[in-house]
Amino acid sequence: MLLLAQLGQTPSLAAHEIKSVAARDVAPSLAVLIVQQGEVLLHTDKQPSSWGQVPAERVASIAALGLSNFINRLGGTMRLVDLLADGQQPRLLPNQPLKLAEVIWNEAGLAAGSGKLPIGLSALNLPPSLLSKILGELKNRAKAAGRSLRVVVPARGHSELSAASVRQNKLLSKGFEFVLIARPGGVLLGQTVAIHDPNRDAQLDRGIPAANARSGMLPPKLARMMVNCALGDLKDVTVYDPFCGNGRILLEAALQGYPVIGRDVDATKVEASSNNLEWLGQTYALHPDYKVSQQDATRAVADLPAHVIAAETWLGPPLHLLPYADKARGYAADVAAMLIPAIRSLLAAKPRRVVLAVPAWRLSGGGRQEVPGVLDVFRDNGYGGECIARYARSDSFVERVILEANPK
């Protein structure tokens, strides 16, 4: 089976996450190859392609590999697509609607079966007009074959079905979503075999009892990616967040079954984390192993088990406008004065890996202001650190710079 992973808005971090989760939970059956920004190829020699199988068998094959569970563990992957391939090489098809419709019809065996079959079509980096031509040809073939199709189309002006639409129309369990991917010289064709669950993210974002709109806005997807990158190939470790806030990172780690420790200098945030973890256990029928307490991150910690650190640090004061350079330098100096002593103290406890989200300010007039000295303090304390991604909406004033550090 040759899979293509469609990555979300931060492809570099999502690709890093896939490698981490594959190394920890799926390897050696799943190999990972980055093919270009926004996509990842994953291939396994333990499962055949699902093309040509009836839906029930196709779903059974997917379940055997655990792809639905796999994508739920990822924060940055939108779809997993089973590519039409020759061995471990994807088949490149001509960008011709009639030919693409013919291949879909024949390879997926759409003429077989009875009842109304729901099918959907999405295109990555291809125009919506291509989809309408392919769908029109599929309808013509279905009519000639006496086969009934229920076609699900993307919203007007879009070339991709939303995850909610795929789920609501049961395209993965009762039908198909076909995906076309632009390539130089042609098109790749695949079937979606797993898609992310937007309801899960919404529940973990707005459904938690202690959701602080001012200080608890770390998106669940980003929290999940940070946890996965911090864990890497490690299994028997605790996830420690020394700036836990209302516990977004703790929730994601606990959902994966890891023991978690959260600390924060603010007692109200400690209480919020505890309430949210208790809610998690009740909502998901879990028994999370957690300890949450009040403590300044700059204090030495000697009572931690083998652990990794995943945390979002202080992002500075709330802003309503892009700051000028001199103002941003002041914000960066304030964050550095708090953060660098804390990192030095945290590294003394020998974490197995550290993943931090630290701020960088977009400046009025262009450019950005970083927090100085962070990578230096890792290096000076026996860790190699690097920026693995930047996470921000297009209208954000502050970026989250995602740093990863490993013992040398």
**Which tens digit of pLDDT belongs to each residue from 216-265?**
489 999 999 999 999 998 989 999 999 999 999 999 999 999 999 999 99
Residues 256 and 385 in one domain: yes
Q: Would you say the C-alpha torsion 258, 263, 266, 267 has a positive or negative sign?
A: positive
> How many separate domains does the chain show?
2
Residues 29 and 106 in one domain: yes
**Given 196, 221, 252, which residue is the final one in a domain?**
196
Three-state SS sequence of 85-109 = EECCEECCECCCHHHHHHHHHHHCC
Q: What is the pLDDT of residue 61?
A: 45
Residues 173 and 307 in one domain: no
In the predicted model, what is the mean pLDDT of the chain? 88
* CATH code: domain of residue 288: 3.40.50.150
* CATH code: domain of residue 70: 3.30.2130
Residues 250 and 185 in one domain: no
**Given 168, 196, 224, which residue is the final one in a domain?**
196
The whole domain housing 356 covers 203-407
Residues 186 and 207 in one domain: no
Residues 264 and 133 in one domain: no
Q: What is the pLDDT of residue 51?
A: 64
Residues 189 and 208 in one domain: no
**Given 196, 218, 248, which residue is the final one in a domain?**
196
Residues 168 and 288 in one domain: no
**Which token pair is 403?**
């740093």
Residues 112 and 209 in one domain: no
Residues 224 and 298 in one domain: yes
Q: What is the pLDDT of residue 173?
A: 86
Q: What is the pLDDT of residue 307?
A: 97
Q: What is the pLDDT of residue 141?
A: 93
Q: What is the pLDDT of residue 60?
A: 43
Residues 215 and 188 in one domain: no
Residues of the chain with pLDDT under 70: 25-38, 43-66, 212-216
Q: Would you say the C-alpha torsion 379, 381, 383, 386 has a positive or negative sign?
A: negative
Q: Would you say the C-alpha torsion 76, 82, 83, 86 has a positive or negative sign?
A: positive
- Contact between residue 340 and residue 374 where contact means Cβ atoms under 8 Å apart: yes
